[in-house]
Amino acid sequence: MSRRTKSTPRLLTSVALIVGLSASWSLPSVAFAAPPDLPAEQPVQPAEPAPATQPVAVQPAPAAQPQPAPQAQPQPQPQPGWEQPQAQPQPQAYGQPQPQPQPQPQAYGQPQPMPQPQPAPPPGLNKNRGLGLTIAGFSIFGVTYLISAISATALIDTGFTETGRPMLIPAVGPFIAASRQSSATLGFGLAFTGVIQIAGLGMGIGGAVMLGGARKRAQLSAAPGGLQLQF
């Protein structure tokens, strides 16, 4: 056993030495070996250009050949001694004329008669004619006489009887009293009062006469039964 154990390391050493020597002999040959020959590079051939498109020639359509005009057949020549009857032209067929619509007569209204102007009614008689004049006249006369009468009574109470008593007479009294005054201003005032009283009295009397005449005047009026005369 001891011999085997001692010889084993030696054996391993010798094996390792043999392997190392064989490797050393083999590596130099590999290291100094020339590189393998590569195949020579082939030159790159340029790509062939695409074939150019040939222009397509458009052929024009064949022109229509003119058709020969049909030739009229020659008319047979009439034989001498015989007359060829002439062909009568056929009458053209015309459509029947359409009847035109008759215009409808326009409806016109009958003219309306013009209205006759009505005669203006005769002015009616005013039954109150003179009424306003009567009222105005007697009003003026009454107011002025009332003022004169009040003034006359005041004068009589104060002792001026010669002036106060005539003024109580309507229309004429103021003139009598004015004639007895020594003052021109007082005499003018009394006379003016008398003028107003006479004017008012005259207006009242004239209006009363006109009013009475209008009320009594005959009136002609139209009624369903005929003309009527009213008083």
Whether 37 is in a domain gets the answer: no
pLDDT at 3: 47
Whether 155 is in a domain gets the answer: yes
pLDDT band for position 135 (cuts 50, 70, 90): very high
Q: How many CB atoms lie within 10 A of CB 51?
A: 6
Whether 36 is in a domain gets the answer: no
Mean pLDDT over each residue of the chain, to the nearest integer: 72
Residue 182 Cα distances to 88, 160, 177, 187, 188, angstroms: 149, 13, 11, 8, 11
DSSP state letters, 130-159: THHHHHHHHHHHHHHHHHHHHHHHHHHHTT
Instruction: Please check whether residue 22 is in contact with residue 30, taking contact to mean a CB–CB distance below 8 angstroms.
Output: no
Whether 226 is in a domain gets the answer: yes
Write down how long the chain is. Answer: 231
Q: Is the predicted pLDDT of residue 32 greater than 80, yes or no?
A: no
Q: State how many domains the chain has.
A: 1
Instruction: Please check whether residue 155 is in contact with residue 164, taking contact to mean a CB–CB distance below 8 angstroms.
Output: yes
Q: Is the predicted pLDDT of residue 83 greater than 70, yes or no?
A: no
pLDDT at 1: 47
Q: What is the tens place of the pLDDT at every residue in 150-186?
A: 999 999 999 999 989 999 999 999 999 999 988 999 9
Whether 215 is in a domain gets the answer: yes
Whether 160 is in a domain gets the answer: yes
Q: Is the predicted pLDDT of residue 70 greater than 70, yes or no?
A: no
Whether 136 is in a domain gets the answer: yes
Residue 145 Cα distances to 106, 158, 163, angstroms: 85, 20, 15
- Report the greatest alpha carbon distance in the chain: 218
| DSSP helix/strand/coil, 194 | helix
pLDDT band for position 113 (cuts 50, 70, 90): confident
Q: Is the predicted pLDDT of residue 218 greater than 80, yes or no?
A: no
pLDDT band for position 149 (cuts 50, 70, 90): very high
Task: Give this prediction's pTM.
Answer: 0.42
Q: Is the predicted pLDDT of residue 31 greater than 60, yes or no?
A: no
pLDDT at 2: 47
Q: Is the predicted pLDDT of residue 44 greater than 60, yes or no?
A: no
Whether 30 is in a domain gets the answer: no
pLDDT at 216: 80
Q: Which domain range does residue 221 map to?
A: 131-230
